[in-house]
Amino acid sequence: MEACETFPGRLPIIFQGQLINQFKRVDPSTDQTSNAGAISFLRSWQKIVHAYMECDLTYTSDKIIALSGVAEEFQSISNDVYLAGLWKNCFFIEQFLWSVMHNKQVNGQPSARPSFYRAPSWSWLSIDAKLSFPLIFEPSFVEIQEANVELVNDNNPTGQVKQGTVSIRGQLKRTNFQKKASKRSDFYIYDEGNNRMGLMTVNFDEAAIKPTQAFCMPVRFCWDDTLEGLILLPTGEKYMEFKRLGHFKSDDFETHEKLARGRNEDKVNFTIV
């Protein structure tokens, strides 16, 4: 097959050759509970997601529908639970660490969430943008207590969703942001008393939304010296309920000390929708 309705001209290169052959050779008996098996599974999934994100669908509401069939195949292979583009039992919190590239969509338009509900903010399906996914899977210091989605059709677990919620126990730091003049994505961060806490690189999900105040949720250290996490904002609808605004990284030691120090003692319970 060289073309289909989603890609009427030609299948993306990523669907041709080696990846297609790898997908055909996926062994349903593979132990997805092992780290190596889980990482291999996720990387194959991410390659396919990248290909879907590269197609400029006429109706952005079709994104979940377009991916549903492939997700169903992956689900049958892994016996995992599919939650709006993410896999519940396979480095779940690490899958939250996707980021938007250059605040752009595939067609060059600014990255944006659609005017209608498509997916929870923690899912990459909630945004129209070019995306980057985590390449390594290191232990996190965030505890997932519960995660679920409400489906439009209960008989289609990989289909459209009405809502999704993740209950988390982790750290939250109220943070003020000040743009660093020399770098487009670098921000100095300050606490509520306007004391500087450090420096981080922030990729906000939507090009038009760059708040001066939000909450930082540190998730993990990768490569031993880079702190990575999410930028969150209260929804204003429920107590300790947040939505995702973006992703951050920092290799600044001062930031590590202020955001991640005491990460076991300072945890609170909250939800992301």
Structure tokens at 11: 């299948």
| CA–CA separation, 246 and 97 (whole Å) | 9
Tell me which of 13-17, 61-65, 98-102, 105-109 is least confident: 13-17
Q: What is the pLDDT of residues 39-94, one digit of tens each?
A: 888 988 988 888 777 776 666 667 788 789 889 989 988 899 999 999 999 889 99
pLDDT at site 138: 79
pLDDT higher than threshold 50 for residue 202: yes
pTM of the model: 0.86
Phi and psi torsions of 44, nearest 5°: -65, -40
| CA–CA separation, 204 and 233 (whole Å) | 12
Q: Tell me the CB-side half-sphere exposure of residue 96, using CA atoms within 13 A.
A: 32
| CA–CA separation, 257 and 251 (whole Å) | 11
pLDDT at site 57: 65
Give the pLDDT band (50/70/90) at residue 187: very high
| Of 152, 127, 11, residue with least CA distance to 70 | 11
Question: In the predicted model, what is the mean pLDDT of residues 80-109?
Answer: 93
DSSP 240: T
Percent of the chain's residues with pLDDT above 90: 60
Structure tokens at 62: 């079709």
SS3 state of residue 227: strand
Distances (CA, A) of 122 to 108, 110, 177: 23, 19, 21
Distances (CA, A) of 1 to 5, 7, 16, 17, 63: 11, 11, 9, 11, 21
Q: CB atoms < 10 A from the CB of 190, how many? A: 19
